[in-house]
């Protein structure tokens, strides 16, 4: 494509990177913000735009930011004036023929505003969507709960499984066999999760066969309902709120529904964390799993030459697959000192230039959309090694952590595992169980076994011994620690995550950081902002690894601040709302008036001629001389009491014995009333 690096890989029927979700024989044309784009049937709007050569969302503080599935704007289709407008994230909106899409502009914080993209007509589109914002957080974290009507559609099941990977499929299968009605929710367009990406270990079947074997007879079962393209965005007691996007006859259809179940399985898999270096969110830099998914699902790859930087063996497989498609792998660096992996051995056979104990030091944009990548030793950050490399794209992988977002949202506890350097779930929740990779399972067979075990536990049955294949760490090294490069002046920022939060490492040392946040000289406003911002789990993990947040805070911090996709949403007309209704009646003499004016005090009826200028609460005095509250001898408690609409006052009668009238004060107005 003109001025672009992102392109569709040549189709090969037997290749994994074939774009299995798209139909290249059915092109689709649509516009976004009045710019024309082309894709294929099966594309999402994002993948079609990426395939059109646009890989940049815009600029944040004058630095370009990559457009990726982790960070992309919401869009809405205005092609049918009569249809209800639905705002859907770009990566979940299907690309349909004739769509006229617009991306809503949201205001930013710190008075930073998103600037509406401006395109000159008839000028080449370039590679950017041209958004600009200067706030400290992005506002593109739209998700299903933001707009639209409250959830009205409710379906009931015995079990809801969130996650259609092998663990979720294993759990669903076991539940079906017990006679349960099961709902299986998967946010992608296909089942299987990341099984193909992580691959099989020795002894296991191929992932494709594994998944087909699991699905087998199950998908024909009328007790199983599968919801694809469905994102679970909230979990509330026994209710899972889901947003589903689909298309039928070239028409967009969205549903917001509540799946109610006695039991819930969370098989939400893993989150990818990026290595931390300057420029880790520049256009052309992409996570290994993201690159894999774009290539496998949509046949997309960025450029003709790529470099890889990884702390995990699985990213090496991506390099091999890309090489099979004709991509030149300039270099693959692994931050681990002596990694063992079959993929690493294959890479040597492929002739890929390899380096261990090495990580990316920095990445800079260059002319003609190239990236200049500098490397350094992992054990001596800032000690650069080798020549800087000029490539089209940089594929990175900093390791994995369990996706515990819904677990935390449900009240599940977490704590930091120092050995694994990740936040892990612990404890129990009633009727919600974590299973699969997010619960620590490492292989496909172990994931399936954990799914089955979860069902047995929920059913109150005894777990049976299951066999599964485990990773042999003698021959397959564990993931390395998070690669962290130091900050460098005049370069793009280092980000902790590749999503919506845009958190960066603090600029100062650990000691100075704590004194910066909590010392007497710290500006209070900055402290509030620092403490008042949200975090993703990847941010939190990075902050703990960097030593900026102590480990002992991890569980609390995650519970309180990792609120990804949380809104103050509610189902319509829940019993909870009725509990909030205050009582309809009030007491004539509430308890806070008892003994207030001394004893004996009683309720007295007063002449009501002047009640138009009086109010409940007006204080009663002996005269107009001493009118501070402490001299009050009573108060008005009712203005229209009884059929005669009398004024009632609660007065200390001993203080009125010598009086023929009293004074009621309403601010500067005084009413003298005979008694």
Partner 1 sequence: MQKSDLGFFDFGLAGTSLQAALIAGLLAKEHGKKICFFVEGTLELRLSREINLSFDSFCRPQTWDLLQKSLKETLPIIHKIGGKRAICRINPLILCKSKSNEQAMAHLYHLLRNNDFEIEKLSIKKFPDAIAAFRIRGAHLVRQHILWPKIKAWLKTSGVAVIDSEGMQLVTHRDGSALVKTASGSIAVKRMILADEQAILNYGAQNDVERLFDKCLTSTIITKPAQKSNESLILNSEYRFSARSTPHGGFEVLADVAMDQMGILMGNFVDKDTKFKLLARNSFNNLRSKDGAAVVGKPSVSSAWMVGGFGYLGLFFSPSIARYICQKPNAAEQQYFVSHSANFKRKTQNIADFRSFLSGQL
Nearest CB to partner 1, comparing residues 107 and 348: 107
Backbone φ and ψ of 99, nearest 5°: -65, 140
d(CA 284, CA 296): 18
Shortest gap between Cβ of 664 and partner 1 (angstroms)? 10
d(CA 397, CA 313): 9
Nearest CB to partner 1, comparing residues 179 and 582: 582
Shortest gap between Cβ of 511 and partner 1 (angstroms)? 15
Shortest gap between Cβ of 170 and partner 1 (angstroms)? 31
Nearest CB to partner 1, comparing residues 345 and 615: 615
Q: Quickly count: other Cβ atoms within 10 Å of residue 581's Cβ.
A: 7
Shortest gap between Cβ of 168 and partner 1 (angstroms)? 26
d(CA 450, CA 171): 8
Nearest CB to partner 1, comparing residues 567 and 674: 567
Shortest gap between Cβ of 585 and partner 1 (angstroms)? 7
Which of 412, 163, 187 shows the shortest CA–CA distance to 267? 163
Shortest gap between Cβ of 137 and partner 1 (angstroms)? 8
Nearest CB to partner 1, comparing residues 532 and 600: 532
Shortest gap between Cβ of 537 and partner 1 (angstroms)? 14
CB 310 within 8 A of CB 334: yes
Nearest CB to partner 1, comparing residues 81 and 524: 524
DSSP run (H or E) holding 343:
helix 342-350
DSSP run (H or E) holding 301:
strand 300-302
Question: With b meaning 16 or more CB within 10 Å and e meaning fewer, what string describes 120-136?
Answer: eeeeebebbbbbbbbbb
Q: Partners of 63 in the beta sheet?
A: 60
Hey, what's the torsion of the CAs at 647, 651, 657, 658, to 10 degrees?
-80
3-state secondary structure of 318: helix
Nearest CB to partner 1, comparing residues 220 and 511: 511
Shortest gap between Cβ of 580 and partner 1 (angstroms)? 6
CB 616 within 8 A of CB 639: yes
- CA–CA distances in Å: residue 205 to residues 20, 201, 445, 516, 570: 21, 8, 9, 54, 44
Shortest gap between Cβ of 555 and partner 1 (angstroms)? 9
Which of 177, 215, 176, 180 shows the shortest CA–CA distance to 195? 215
Which tokens sit at 157?
A: 């099941």
d(CA 554, CA 398): 20
Shortest gap between Cβ of 673 and partner 1 (angstroms)? 16
Q: How many CA atoms lie within 13 A of 451 on its CB side?
A: 34
d(CA 487, CA 279): 10
- CA–CA distances in Å: residue 656 to residues 307, 460, 673: 94, 74, 12
Nearest CB to partner 1, comparing residues 136 and 374: 136
Shortest gap between Cβ of 538 and partner 1 (angstroms)? 16
Nearest CB to partner 1, comparing residues 203 and 598: 598
3-state secondary structure of 603: strand
Shortest gap between Cβ of 109 and partner 1 (angstroms)? 4
Shortest gap between Cβ of 83 and partner 1 (angstroms)? 22
Nearest CB to partner 1, comparing residues 309 and 501: 501
d(CA 38, CA 515): 53
Nearest CB to partner 1, comparing residues 344 and 557: 557
Nearest CB to partner 1, comparing residues 433 and 619: 619
The backbone region for 203, taken as left when phi is positive above 0, alpha when psi lies in -120 to 50, beta otherwise, is: left
Q: How many Å is the Cα radius of gyration of the chain?
A: 32
Nearest CB to partner 1, comparing residues 291 and 635: 635
DSSP type of residue 659: -
Shortest gap between Cβ of 377 and partner 1 (angstroms)? 33
d(CA 146, CA 86): 11
Shortest gap between Cβ of 108 and partner 1 (angstroms)? 8
Nearest CB to partner 1, comparing residues 123 and 520: 520
DSSP type of residue 238: T
CB 161 within 8 A of CB 89: no
Nearest CB to partner 1, comparing residues 336 and 561: 561
CB 493 within 8 A of CB 507: no
Question: With b meaning 16 or more CB within 10 Å and e meaning fewer, what string describes 281-317?
Answer: bbbbbbbbbbbbbbbbbbbbbbbebbbbbbbbbbbbb
Q: Quickly count: other Cβ atoms within 10 Å of residue 149's Cβ.
A: 8
Nearest CB to partner 1, comparing residues 342 and 559: 559
Shortest gap between Cβ of 628 and partner 1 (angstroms)? 6
């Amino acid at each position: 494509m003109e001025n672009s690096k992102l392109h569709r890989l040549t189709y090969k029927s037997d290749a994994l990177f074939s774009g299995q979700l798209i139909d290249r024989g059915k092109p689709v044309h649509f516009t976004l913000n009045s710019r024309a784009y082309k894709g294929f049937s099966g594309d999402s709007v994002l993948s079609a735009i990426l395939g059109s050569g646009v890989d940049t969302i815009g600029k944040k503080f004058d630095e370009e930011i990559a457009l990726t599935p982790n960070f992309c704007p919401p869009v809405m289709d205005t092609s049918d004036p009569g249809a209800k407008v639905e705002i859907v994230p770009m990566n979940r909106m299907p690309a349909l023929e004739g769509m006229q899409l617009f991306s809503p502009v949201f205001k930013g914080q710190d008075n930073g505003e998103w600037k509406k993209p401006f395109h000159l007509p008839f000028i080449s589109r370039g590679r950017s969507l041209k958004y600009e914002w200067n706030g400290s957080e992005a506002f593109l974290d739209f998700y299903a709960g933001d707009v639209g009507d409250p959830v009205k559609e409710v379906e009931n099941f015995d079990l809801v499984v969130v996650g259609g990977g092998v663990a979720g499929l294993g759990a669903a299968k076991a539940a079906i066999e017990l006679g349960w009605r099961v709902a299986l929710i998967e946010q992608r367009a296909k089942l299987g999760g990341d099984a193909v990406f992580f691959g099989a270990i020795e002894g296991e079947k191929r992932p494709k066969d594994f998944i087909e074997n699991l699905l087998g007879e199950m998908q024909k079962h009328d007790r199983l309902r599968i919801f694809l393209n469905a994102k679970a965005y909230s979990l509330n007691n026994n209710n899972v709120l889901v947003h589903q996007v689909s298309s039928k006859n070239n028409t967009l259809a969205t549903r917001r529904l509540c799946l109610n179940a006695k039991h819930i399985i969370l098989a939400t898999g893993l989150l990818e964390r990026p290595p931390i270096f300057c420029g880790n969110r520049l256009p052309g830099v992409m996570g290994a799993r993201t690159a894999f998914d774009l290539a496998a699902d949509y046949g997309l790859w960025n450029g003709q030459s790529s470099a890889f930087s990884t702390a995990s063996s699985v990213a090496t497989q991506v390099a091999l697959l890309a090489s099979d498609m004709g991509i030149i792998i300039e270099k693959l660096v692994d931050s681990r000192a002596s990694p063992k992996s079959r993929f690493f051995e294959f890479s040597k056979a492929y002739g890929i230039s390899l380096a261990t104990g090495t990580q990316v030091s920095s990445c800079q944009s260059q002319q003609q959309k190239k990236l200049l990548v500098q490397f350094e030793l992992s054990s001596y950050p800032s000690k650069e090694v080798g020549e800087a490399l000029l490539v089209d794209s940089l594929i990175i992988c900093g390791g994995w952590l369990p996706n515990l977002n819904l677990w935390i949202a449900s009240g599940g506890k977490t704590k930091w595992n120092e050995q694994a350097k990740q936040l892990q779930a612990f404890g129990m929740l009633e009727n919600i169980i974590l299973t699969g990779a997010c619960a620590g399972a490492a292989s496909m067979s172990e994931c399936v076994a954990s799914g089955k075990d979860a069902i047995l536990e929920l059913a109150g049955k005894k777990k049976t011994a299951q066999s599964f294949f485990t990773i042999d760490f003698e021959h397959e090294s564990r993931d390395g620690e998070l690669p962290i490069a130091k900050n460098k002046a005049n370069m793009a920022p280092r980000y902790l995550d590749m999503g919506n939060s845009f958190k960066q490492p603090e600029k100062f040392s650990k000691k100075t950081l704590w004194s910066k946040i909590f010392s007497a000289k710290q500006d209070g406003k900055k402290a509030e902002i620092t403490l008042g911002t949200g975090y993703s789990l990847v941010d939190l993990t990075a902050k703990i690894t960097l030593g900026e947040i102590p480990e002992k805070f991890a569980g609390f911090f995650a519970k309180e601040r990792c609120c990804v996709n949380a809104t103050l949403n509610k189902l319509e007309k829940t019993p909870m709302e009725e509990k909030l209704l205050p009582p309809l009646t009030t007491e004539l003499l509430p308890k806070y008036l008892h003994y207030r004016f001394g004893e004996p005090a009683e309720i007295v009826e007063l002449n009501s001629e002047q009640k138009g200028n009086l109010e409940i609460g007006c204080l009663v005095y002996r005269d107009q001389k001493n009118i501070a509250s402490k001299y009050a001898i009573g108060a008005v408690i009712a203005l229209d009491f009884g059929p005669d609409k009398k004024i009632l006052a609660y007065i200390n009668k001993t203080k009125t014995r010598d009086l023929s009238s009293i004074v009621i004060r309403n601010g500067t107005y005084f009413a003298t009333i005979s008694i």
